Amino acid sequence: MKQRPFILDPLFRSINILPGIGPSSQKRIEKLIGGGKILDLLFHAPVDFIDRRFTPQIADAPNNRIATLQIKVEKHIPNSRKSLPYRVKVIDDSGSMDLVFFHAKSPWIEKSLPLGETRIISGKVEYFHGKAQMVHPDFIGSVEEKADIQTIEPIYPLTQGITNKVLRKAMLSALKLTSAFPEWLDTAHLTKTKWPDWKTAIHKLHNPESEKDLDLLAAQRSRLAYDELLANQITIALIRRNQIMVSGRSFKPSVNLHNLIVKNLPFELTGAQKRSLKEINEDMASNRRMLRLLQGDVGSGKTIVACLAAMNAIENGAQAAILAPTEILARQHAESMREWLQAASVRYVILTGRDKGKKRETLVSQIKNGAAQLIIGTHAIFQDDIKYHDLGLAIIDEQHRFGVHQRMSLSGKGEKADILVMTATPIPRTLSLTNYGDLEISKLDEKPPGRKPVETLLIPKEKIEDLISGLKRKIDEGNRVYWVCPLVEESEVMDIEAAEERYDVLKSIFPNRTGLVHGRMKAEEKEAVMQKFSNGDLDILVATTVIEVGVNVPEATIMVIEHAERFGLSQLHQLRGRVGRGADQSYCFLLYAGPLGETAKERLSIMRDTEDGFIIAEKDLELRGSGDILGTKQSGEAHFKIADLAVHRDLLATAHNDARLLIEKDPNLTSERGEKIKTLLYMFERDQAIKYLKSG
């Protein structure tokens, strides 16, 4: 495989070669910038700046303003007691001021500010009892260093133990290692946008001169964001082309099995389900491999569509597999499909990590010899030792835990197997381009008939007693309740404590009828509690967000979300989707603690006003930025350092078109621009894209 271009090598060196970065600060900075390369540091953009160009005389220095002054050191006044500061009297032609140091060591002060010498100082001037002073100047330097101090100083996001001074010093050295690269952007596009070249853009990013330069849409930031988005889109276009070029198999649409199942359904398929099935059938019948995303809101009926798609492979003598992210969900799929599969006499097995020994051996051999026509399970169904008799269709119930690379490794289990990815999270178009750009998209945008909208009410936490009294009445009428406990940022232990506390309170009010599930419980324990709730042996299920992708209980008509202001919009929407699955009226109570910030207010209002997951997803992206809307910290998802999808949507659409056209015209990147694009792909470590290039 072609090696990374030599011109990029300096940017791939470790940050530990930069001045001021020792072993302990290296670890902290790496965590802060999300990597250990000089390039990672260069992509750590400033968020503010301090203007040190203001150089008045002492007498003219205004209160509370940053100023850079040329002064002479007149007198040292050491502290007589530890609690008092060390003062240094400094002068210029216009007057005098004090430099004030708390807890600073005398030798350092004496060395930095020698008596009788002229120095350049920079910091905030403050007036104390009518006299000018500067507490802990930010910079003290010689007259020769004046030009370096008297500049605009960018302010970076920091972490504990790392100062802006340390980061800036390292950044200036990193900038010296940058080179001018051959221009990979389209000439016409560059002319139209008036963007600078890469080197100019990265230097301007770190040397802002005004508020405008910090804007995410400033020319230099847009240029760098576009590079990152283009690398992402070219990678996806190459993966997509590679997948499609693997000629698929043609499966005639199922007629017999399809009819046996549909005849036994207690409901009519919605228009959206029929349309999506038609798209899937056409893909599977063609001799190209199917790569399709089935995007449906909570409760829009993805399971039956997946089941009928599986019949296409099965009726043609092949196998189908459904991969779920959790054991609970795998078993729920099997439970939902059981009657349909029995009606069609389809043999299915469930395989999860819990299956061991003889039982596992039997299941593995049924998968291998073809006795199992449909295989439902967790990651266990794609482990190395699992051999399929003939896998024709792989269905991934995404819950955004499987990225583009997992999809590729999974499809390798079957000779040219078709792939259908399902997600219950409606995804904004921008995110579907970056995370699912290799897939065609089908949308289930209708709810099955007979489902009533869930009534959503906002309740201040002071009214929790009234809410519990109301629940008593509802439970007496035969309703069941989910009670989701508050999310405690960064702490699963605290999440569990909050859940246990709420469980104790509710258990005292509803003895023997309240259950608890949380993330630290063993799968069997969780399942036993959920089963009891499902069967009606429990009325209330107290849970951490473990139930986001949990059980399907049509009798559960009430969802209480405590401290709803702490949850993201998509998460609130997912949780609300656990109720409203039967014909009865369902309710979602969002308990909140004031005072609410603007964003929290807007989130809760949106939840109250709409149930449309597609509207909610777009709003979520707007309010939250692209950072973690899809759990992008999880495997395989696109994670951007410079681009922000909430702001750079238009750039993404342009990059998408640019990449598609480029790969259509120059699939192996052998043209003049194509060769330069390879440097861009290596810069963003898109090595998996490069390995698809025949010439690479």
Q: What pLDDT score was predicted for residue 646?
A: 80
All domains in the chain, ordered by first residue? 6-48+171-209 (no CATH), 53-150 (2.40.50.140), 256-444 (3.40.50.300), 455-610 (3.40.50.300)
Q: Is 39 left (phi over 0), alpha (psi -120 to 50) or beta?
A: alpha
Residue 692, φ and ψ in degrees, nearest 5: -85, -10
Q: What percent of the chain has pLDDT over 70?
A: 92
Average pLDDT in the 516-539 region?
86
Q: What pLDDT score was predicted for residue 60?
A: 95
Q: What pLDDT score was predicted for residue 169?
A: 93
CB 438 within 8 A of CB 414: no
Which of 138-142, 209-213, 494-498 is predicted least confidently?
Answer: 494-498
Query: What is the spatial distance between Cα 551 and Cα 441, in angstroms, rounded to a whole number?
Result: 26
Q: Which residue has the higher pLDDT, 317 or 424?
A: 317
Which residues face 101 on adjacent strands? 86
Q: pTM to 2 decimals?
A: 0.69
Question: How does residue 349 score in pLDDT terms, banded at 50, 70 and 90?
Answer: very high
Average pLDDT in the 232-255 region?
85
Average pLDDT in the 528-549 region?
82
Q: What pLDDT score was predicted for residue 673?
A: 96
Query: What is the spatial distance between Cα 121 and Cα 113, in angstroms, rounded to a whole number?
Result: 10
Average pLDDT in the 381-388 region?
86
pLDDT of 632 higher than 50? no
End-to-end CA distance of the chain: 6
Which residues face 103 on adjacent strands? none
**Tokens in use for 545?**
């967000």
pLDDT of 231 higher than 80? yes
Q: What pLDDT score was predicted for residue 627?
A: 42
Mind listing the pLDDT tens digit for each residue in 22-54?
A: 998 999 999 999 999 999 999 999 999 999 999
Q: Which residue has the higher pLDDT, 493 or 153?
A: 153
Mind listing the pLDDT tens digit for each residue in 54-65?
A: 999 999 999 999
Q: What pLDDT score was predicted for residue 513?
A: 92
| Sequence-distant (≥ 6) Cβ neighbours of residue 467 within 8 angstroms | 459, 560, 589, 591
pLDDT of 548 higher than 80? no
Question: How does residue 410 score in pLDDT terms, banded at 50, 70 and 90?
Answer: low
Q: Nearest-CA neighbor of 68 among 123, 106, 28? A: 123
pLDDT of 464 higher than 70? yes
Query: What is the rounded average pLDDT for all residues in the chain?
Result: 88
Question: How does residue 629 score in pLDDT terms, banded at 50, 70 and 90?
Answer: very low
